[in-house]
Structure 1
Amino acid sequence: MKASIVKGDVLDLACGALIVGVFKDSLTPSAQALDKASGGLVSKWMESGDIHGCVGKCAEFFGFPGAKAERVIFVGLGKKGKARELPRILKLGLEKAYLGKEVVITCLEWLPDEIPEWIAQTAGRIACNAFDRPRNYKTKDIDWKKPKKIELFVPDGNEDIETAFLEGFTVGEGVRRTKEYGDMPANICTPKFMAQECMQLGEEFGLDVSVYDEKALEKLGMGCLLGVARGSHQPARMVIMEYHGGKKGEAPVALIGKGLTFDSGGISLKPGKGMDEMKYDMCGAASMIGAITTAAELKLKVNIVAALGFTENMPGSAATKPGDILKSYSGKTVEILNTDAEGRLVLCDLLSFVKDKFKPKCMVDAATLTGACIIALGNDISGLFANDEEMAVSMLMAGDASLDPCWRLPLDISFTNSLRSNFADLANISDGRGAGSSTAAAFLEEFVGDTPWAHLDIAGTAWKSGKEKGATGRPVPLLISFLKDLDIE
C-alpha cells in the first residue's frame, strides 16, 4: 500500500473512494463543493438523516452527482472536530473503503484548530494501520483487499504536509511490525526466534546487533533474568540493537523492553482463563524493536541503544521457587516472593547493564508489567513513572502529541520501603496489596542510579482482548514522538 498527496479540485479526483467529513451543524469545504455540484443533495440528506454529523457515523454513496470518485463516504465529525477522535473517525471511514483502488482522505479540513502538518502525520499513521489484520494460520484465509494507495487531499499543495504524511506512514509501519510480533503464537515466537529476527532487522535497517546466549548471560552475572528462564526449555536471549544517527561519541538514548515470549506465572501459576494472552507479555520488547527500526528509517539524528530481554516464564522442575534468592547483574540480591512478578527481574538486569556499558543520556523502558496499572488507568492510557521531571514532562507531551497517551503515577520512598526483605536487598513484590504498579516501578528505580529514566507500564494498552483480540503496537507512536523531540534538540 502506497501513500502520497493529491492536489486540485476535490470534484475532479478520479479515485475508488473519497472520504469527506461533515460537522453536526455545518459542512467542510469538500462537503460544500459536493453539495454545490449535486444541487444541494448533501444538505438535503443531512436534514433527512441519510448523512449524519454525529461522530463516526458513515454514509456511503456510489456515483455521487458531480464527483468523479466511484464512491463518496461521508463521516460525521461532531459539532467541532476533536483531535482525540481523529483515529476512530478516520479508521471508520477507511474501513468502508477497503478495495484494491485509490482512496483519498480530506481530513486536513476536519480539525480547523490544529496544525496541518500534525494532522497529516497522524492521518498517515492511522491510514497505514487501518487495514492491519493479525497474521493467522487458517488453511483458508479471507481475501482481504487493501487499497492500492492512500492519498491525502491537499488543496493548495505543501511540501511540509507531504513530508509529514509520509513520515506518519513510516511510523505506521513500525506499529505494524510491533503488532505482528505481539500477535505471534509463543510456539513460533520464541526467544531464539526473536533474536534471529533482530539480526535480520539489523541488516535491513543498518543497525548493529549483538545477541547474548545463556552462557554469555551467566558470564555477565545476569542472575535475575536467568532465574526467570530456569523453568523453560527455551534458552533466554538478550539482544542489543544500536542505531548511530547522532554525533559520534554522543551518549545514546536507551530503550529497554521486557520480552516474555510467554508468561505462565511460573510456580506462582496464573489462572487458566485468558492465559493464552500471555503471548503478549513480550510487547514491551516488540515496541522497542518498532521504535528503533522506525527511528532508523526516519534517519533521526540521535544515537539509540535498545536492550531486549527474551525468555519464557514456565513452571518446570528447575524453575525459580518462592523464597529463592537471586543475585542481579548490579550485585543486589532479590528474594522471590512471587514468580509471576518476573518482568521486573528481567528489566532490572537490562537497566543495570545498559547504564554501566553505554552510559546513556536517558533510559526508557516499556513493559506489560502489572495488572494493577489496568485497574488504575484502564485500557486506553499507559502508566508513566519517572525519576526526573524533565523526562516525565517530555514523555507526557510525546504521548499527547502522538495520541498515544500516558499518565504519571507516583514514585515514593514508601513504595521502596515496602520491598524490604529480611533475607535479601529487595523482595520482588511488596508486603501489601496496594499500589502494585508503583511498587513495581520502585523496584526498577533501584537499578537506574542517577540516569534520567522513565518507565511505561503498558499492561492495559499493548493489546486488546475479546472479539478485537490483537496487539495495538503501542507505545511506538509515543516513543517516536519523544525521539523526534530529542532530534530537534
Structure 2
Amino acid sequence: MKKTVSLLTGIAMSAVLSATALAQTAVNFTNQAPENGNIVIGVYEGGELGQYGASIDSKSNKGLSHAISASGFDGKVMTTKVVPAPVGAGYEQILLVGLGAKGADVSALQWQKIGGNAVQKAVSAFKSAPAMIFDVSEDASANIAFGAKLGSYYFDKYYTDDSRHRSQDELEIVTGQSDQAERLYEAELDPVANAMWYTRDISNEPSNVIYPESFVERWTEHFKGMDNIKIKVIDEKEMQELGMGALYGVGRGSKRPPRMMIVEYMGGNKGDNPVVIAGKGITFDTGGISMKNPPNMWNMKFDMSGAASAMGTVHALAGRGAKVNVVGIAALAENMPGGNAQRPGDVVTSMSGKTIQIRSTDAEGRLVLADGIYYGDTTYNPPLLVDLATLTGSASRALGSDYAAVFSRHDDLIEKFTAAGKETGDEVWHLPLNENHFKAIENNVADVMNSGPDAPGASAGAAFIGTFVRDTTNWVHLDIAGIAYSDKPSATKASPGSRAYGIRLLNAYIKEHFEGK
C-alpha cells in the first residue's frame, strides 16, 4: 500500500503566538536553608525532626518542638499545619508537613503526593510556596520535587484579576543531598513533569485556541530542539489519498480541517520496531448531527486528551533520552454539524478497506482511531500498540474517576499495565473483551457499525477499535473517559481540568519492558 506523508516544515505559528503556553515552574535544589520569611518543614511522626529542623529547634531553645507539640501536629503522612515560628528561629510562619514514621517504607508515588500536597497548602497559606525543607534521601527528595512541580500547576492564564493567580515561578527544595537529588530529578523526573505540564496546558486550552492545526503547531514548538525527533503531518488531502475515510469523515463538518500528527522518537537501537502510542484527538465534540446535550457540551474540549497524552508520552521519553524507539500518533478532528458533515446511516471506508456504517456521529472517537491505529500498526509493525481515548460514558460510569478501563486480547499485558498503574498512580481496571463484543458491532449494510442499541458501550468501543488492529499485534486499549480530566483537586493536580493521564503509566511501562533491550 502506498504511504504518502509530508514532513512538517514551517507551519504558521499564529495560534502559538496568540496563546502562548503557561510558563513552567522551575525547581531548584539547595543544601542552604533560608534565614527568614516563611518556610515549609517536613516532620516525622511523634514530632521527630531532621537535621535542618533540629537546627531550628536548637536556635529557638526547643521552641519548634514546643510549637509542634502544642499544635497537636502528629506528623502523619499528608497532614499539614501552619504554626507561628518560635522566637529565635528567624522566621515568620512555618508550614509543618507530615512525613509519617521515620524509616518507614514509603513509595515514590507517596513522596510525590507529599510534595504536591505541601506546595498546594503553602500557596493557600502564604500565597506563594516558600523554601521546603526535607531531611530525606536523594530519591525521596527528587520525587518530592516531581510531585511539587505537578502540584504547583494551575491553569490561570486567562484570569485578569492578579489575586486569582496561583501559578508559581519557582520552587526551592532544601535537602542535605541536593546535588544527588538534582541529578536524579533532572535526568528522570523533570522530563516527565515537563511533558505532563505541556499536556495539561494543551488539554485545558479552549477549543477556539486548540484545534487540529494549532494542536500540531503547539506540539511542534514543544518538540523543537529535541534529539532523535522527526515529525510528519497528514492533511485532509493526503487522508483522502490514503483512504482514511473514517478520520476524514469525522472532520468533514468543520471549517477546521482534520490532521494526523505522527512524532517519531528513535532513541533506541537502529532497526528495532518502535512502540506505537495512538490517541483520540477530537479537539471539540458537539456530537455532530447526533447532537450532544448542550448543558454538558462545554467540557468537550477535553475530548482530545488521548492525543495530548500520546504526544506527552513521546515528549517525556525524548526528554530523558530513553533508549527506545517510540512513535506517537494524534488522530485530530473537530466534530461539528456543518453542511458537509457525515450523517447517521452514511457508510465510510477506512484506510484498512473495511467499511463502517455510521449509526451515531457522536461515536466519532473510534472512527478517527480506526485510521490512526491501522496506520500505526501497518506502517511500523510495533511490538506494542497502545491507544488512549476518552471513548465511552459507560467506562466512566463503571469506574468513576479512579481508573481508566483497560482492554486487550492479551492477559499478560493487562497484568503488566495494572502493576505499572499502581506504581505510578495512573491506575487501570480490566474490563471484558470477547467474541460477543465483536459480533455486537457487525452490520447488515457495512462490515461494522460504530454504534448500536445492543452493543455494550465500553466493550463494544474496544471491539470496534480492535477490529482495525491485527490479531498478531500486542495491543492495549485505554478508555480514559472518566479519568482524563476532573474539577476535583488532588495532591499532584491543583488546577481543575486535565490530569495528563497515561504519561506516567506509559513512561514507566516502556522503561521497564522496552528500554535498552
The TM-score with structure 1 as length reference comes to 0.88
Corresponding position of 1:327: 349
Corresponding position of 1:194: 215
Other structure's SS at 1:262 match: strand
Shift in Å, 1:463? 1.0
Most deviating of 371-380 and 279-288: 371-380
Most deviating of 345-354 and 100-109: 100-109
Counterparts in 2 of 1:407 and 1:66: CA distance versus 1, 3 Å: farther
Corresponding position of 2:117: 92
Shift in Å, 1:452? 0.8
Shift in Å, 1:445? 1.2
Most deviating of 271-280 and 49-58: 49-58
Corresponding position of 2:151: 130
Corresponding position of 1:113: none
CA deviations 1:420-447 (Å, max 9, x no partner) are: 111221111244264x212211111111
Q: Is the 8 A contact 1:5 1:162 kept in 2?
A: yes
Corresponding position of 1:269: 291
Corresponding position of 1:217: 239
Counterparts in 2 of 1:316 and 1:179: CA distance versus 1, 3 Å: same
Residue 447 (structure 2) pairs with residue 425 (structure 1): yes
Q: Match for 2:460: what amino acid?
A: T
Distance (whole Å) between structure 2 residues aligned to residue 331 and residue 253 of structure 1: 24
Q: Match for 2:508: what amino acid?
A: S
Which of 227, 236, 248 is residue 249 of structure 2 equivalent to?
A: 227
Corresponding position of 2:430: 408
Counterparts in 2 of 1:27 and 1:310: CA distance versus 1, 3 Å: same
CA deviations 1:208-229 (Å, max 9, x no partner) are: 1111111100000001111111
Residue 190 (structure 2) pairs with residue 163 (structure 1): no
Counterparts in 2 of 1:380 and 1:125: CA distance versus 1, 3 Å: farther
Q: Match for 1:76: what amino acid?
A: G
CA deviations 1:274-331 (Å, max 9, x no partner) are: 2110000011111112111121111111111111111111112222222222111111
The TM-score with structure 2 as length reference comes to 0.84
Distance (whole Å) between structure 1 residues aligned to residue 286 and residue 439 of structure 2: 28
Residue 500 (structure 2) pairs with residue 473 (structure 1): yes
Residue 338 (structure 2) pairs with residue 311 (structure 1): no
Distance (whole Å) between structure 2 residues aligned to residue 242 and residue 126 of structure 1: 28
The number of residues matched between the two structures is: 477
Any unmatched runs of 5+ in structure 2? 1-24, 490-494
Distance (whole Å) between structure 1 residues aligned to residue 385 and residue 482 of structure 2: 22
Distance (whole Å) between structure 1 residues aligned to residue 404 and residue 237 of structure 2: 35
Shift in Å, 1:389? 3.5
CA deviations 1:338-364 (Å, max 9, x no partner) are: 111110111111111111111222111
Other structure's SS at 2:515 match: helix
Corresponding position of 1:357: 379
Instruction: Identify which of structures 1 and 2 has the higher relative contact order when contacts are C-alpha pairs closer than 8 Å and 6+ apart.
Output: 2
Residue 204 (structure 2) pairs with residue 176 (structure 1): no
Shift in Å, 1:201? 3.2
Most deviating of 77-86 and 476-485: 77-86
Shift in Å, 1:63? 3.9
Shift in Å, 1:263? 0.4
Corresponding position of 2:391: 369
Q: Is the 8 A contact 2:244 2:371 kept in 1?
A: yes
Residue 131 (structure 2) pairs with residue 103 (structure 1): yes
Shift in Å, 1:412? 1.2
CA deviations 1:214-246 (Å, max 9, x no partner) are: 110000000111111122121111111111111
User: Alignment RMSD, CA only?
Assistant: 2.8
CA deviations 1:23-81 (Å, max 9, x no partner) are: 55453535566556544445544444453545543222454456566643102356778
Counterparts in 2 of 1:17 and 1:448: CA distance versus 1, 3 Å: farther
Q: Is the 8 A contact 1:261 1:312 kept in 2?
A: yes
